[in-house]
Amino acid sequence: MVEMRQRIDDRYVTAEKYTTLRGIHQDARKNLSDAQWNYLWCGTGDEVTLRDNTAAFDRYLFETPLFAGISNPDTSTSVLGFDLSFPAFIAPFGGEAAFHPEGHLAIGRAAQSVGIRQMVPVAASYSLEDIAAASAAAAIFQMTFVGDEGAVLAMMERAKDAGYRYICVTYSPIRQWRERMMEDRFSIRGEKGPANFGPGRSDPSSLTELLDFTQPRWNWAQAARAIARAPLPCIVKGVTNARDAQAALDAGAAALYVSNYGGRTVDRTPAALDVLPAVRAAAGPEVPIIFDSGIRRGSDIATAIALGADAVALGRLIALGLAADGEAGVRRTLELLQREFWTTLGHLGCSSVGELTGDVLYRQARS
């Protein structure tokens, strides 16, 4: 891993291919077919939640002090025992070979070069073992609690054997209403993978269960039992209210992950940022909280931390970097995010991530 505290190169003049995230976004759009782009960018229903996830960040403004004496803030932090160069993880997103043939292999290498960690989804285009072998960034394995408990525990053992340190638990009760993908007749099975199933891997019926929703979904009692038997500590993803925060902690969760999956599950649910303070209040100050859904620039990371997250996860931004320029595109995306976060910390008078509190924010009235 790279040295965590770094002097950031903040000059405007650079030989880098991309000077801002905008250029990466534009190249990603050029490189993808309409169907691939829709898979990346779609939400559900009218995509109200997808839009509100980002609009929620616009409802906060920063308060900047004068003469705070900061010139080189420290963006590094430690979350879940991982030393990170800035408070971010790669979010788990499946079917990623639709964006670039090297998928999560390239993402892991880029994450390692920048000094952050990767969450690897069960629906990845490469197997969890191949992704773990590609880089030391692969640290958290995301899987859905569905079907047979024995199969779920066996998959966790595989993740442990491959060197993962946490399981990110997800829940998905029924297929999502994604009209862009319906219009495109898109199937992730039509892309490369998912590679975790099949001969020598996990039973393909687990994949059917994951994608086709043939059996009733689990309840909290089943989830608690699997968490208790799990060979690795579990992070529960999809927490969006105080009640579920408490239920997840009662079930044995080691950390909470506030997310509405980037507006990809059910539309007209609240923006993830809007529910973050209530989840932090319910969890208390010590429980680690990861946040995603709506991060679009480095200053958004500061807002999420100030509202109670310990780190954010990056989904679509990483997919854009991957689609634009493979590993180099992801690395540049991460560098630009870290650099803008660094600049934001400095302007807010914070010399370290720990100094980012609600005091740096104004909340605007909702229009």
Ligand X SMILES: Cc1cc2nc3c(=O)[nH]c(=O)nc-3n(C[C@H](O)[C@H](O)[C@H](O)COP(=O)(O)O)c2cc1C
Q: Decide: helix, strand or coil at residue 311.
A: strand
Backbone angles phi, psi at 218, to 5 degrees: -75, 160
Using the rule CB under 6 A, is 315 a contact of ligand X? yes
CB of 171 to ligand X, least distance (A): 10
Exposed/middle/buried for residue 10 (C-beta within 10 Å: 0-12, 13-18, 19+): exposed
Is the preceding omega at residue 277 within 30 degrees of 0, hence cis?
A: no
In DSSP notation, 165-185 reads: -EEEEE---S----HHHHHHT
Q: Taking the alpha carbons of 336, 337, 343, 344 in that order, is the dihedral positive or negative?
A: positive
Pattern of binders to ligand X over 198-237, x per CB under 6 A?
---------------------------------------x
Is the preceding omega at residue 87 within 30 degrees of 0, hence cis?
A: no
Using the rule CB under 6 A, is 316 a contact of ligand X? yes
Q: Please state, in angstroms and rounded to a whole number, the distance separating the CA atoms of residues 342 and 356.
A: 12
Pattern of binders to ligand X over 86-105, x per CB under 6 A?
-----xxxxx----------
Nearer to ligand X, 87 or 315 (CB): 315
Q: Please state, in angstroms and rounded to a whole number, the distance separating the CA atoms of residues 100 and 109.
A: 14
Identified binder of ligand X from the candidate list 170, 206, 240, 333, rule CB under 6 A: 170
Backbone angles phi, psi at 362, to 5 degrees: -105, 145
Using the rule CB under 6 A, is 125 a contact of ligand X? no
Nearer to ligand X, 6 or 116 (CB): 116
Using the rule CB under 6 A, is 262 a contact of ligand X? yes
Using the rule CB under 6 A, is 40 a contact of ligand X? yes
Nearer to ligand X, 27 or 47 (CB): 47
Nearer to ligand X, 300 or 335 (CB): 300
Nearer to ligand X, 56 or 74 (CB): 56
Q: What is the dihedral of CA 289, 291, 297, 298, to 10 degrees?
A: 0
CB of 359 to ligand X, least distance (A): 25
Q: Please state, in angstroms and rounded to a whole number, the distance separating the CA atoms of residues 83 and 1.
A: 9
Nearer to ligand X, 121 or 346 (CB): 121
Identified binder of ligand X from the candidate list 292, 310, 327, 340, rule CB under 6 A: 292
Residue located via tokens 């309409």: 34
CB of 351 to ligand X, least distance (A): 27
Binding site for ligand X (CB under 6 A): 39-40, 53, 91-95, 121, 123, 142, 170, 237, 259, 261-262, 264, 292-295, 315-316, 319
